[in-house]
Amino acid sequence: MPKFFRKIDRETVLYVLFGTLTAAVNLSVYFVLNWTFRVNYMVSNITAWVATVLFAYVTNKLFVFRTRSGSWKELGREFVRFVNSRIISGGADQALMWLLVGMLHFNSSIIKVVNSGVVVVLNYILSKLMIFKPREDRAG
């Protein structure tokens, strides 16, 4: 079996599954707001980000990384780390929307779909390295 396939584990498969669902939530909220209600693409993008962050935190915590918090305080710190990492990827998404749609006048729908792929990869890296680490690996 090729080396790549040996590296794929339960966590990776579930992240891809829930990452796809998270992207679907993001795109659904964005397109409903932007196409149906004619909400500005930047406002639609921010609103979709908020819905996505909440959905992603629950699914990543419970199903993908399966971390358990020892206290409400630890849960709160984990959630803050999660939101902070999502601010990084959400900021990248928003900046790309502003640049590619607002400044260079590319189609907002196409850019939103492309950005979703970039965001999923960035979020996995941030989640794996900064947020959902086993308790014994976390500092402070």
- Residue 94 belongs to domain spanning: 8-133
Report pLDDT digits (tens) over 102-128.
999 999 999 999 999 889 888 878 877
Query: Is 3 part of a structural domain of the chain?
Result: no
Query: Is 65 part of a structural domain of the chain?
Result: yes
pLDDT of 71 above 60: yes
Number of folded domains that form the chain: 1
Question: What is the sign of the dihedral through the CA atoms of 24, 91, 102 and 34?
Answer: positive
Query: Is 39 part of a structural domain of the chain?
Result: yes
Query: Residue 138: its pLDDT value, please?
Result: 47
Residues 71-79, mean pLDDT to the nearest whole number: 92
Q: Above pLDDT 70, what percent of the chain? A: 89
Distance CA 49, CA 44 (A): 9
CB 34, CB 86: distance < 8 Å: no
The model carries a pTM of 0.83
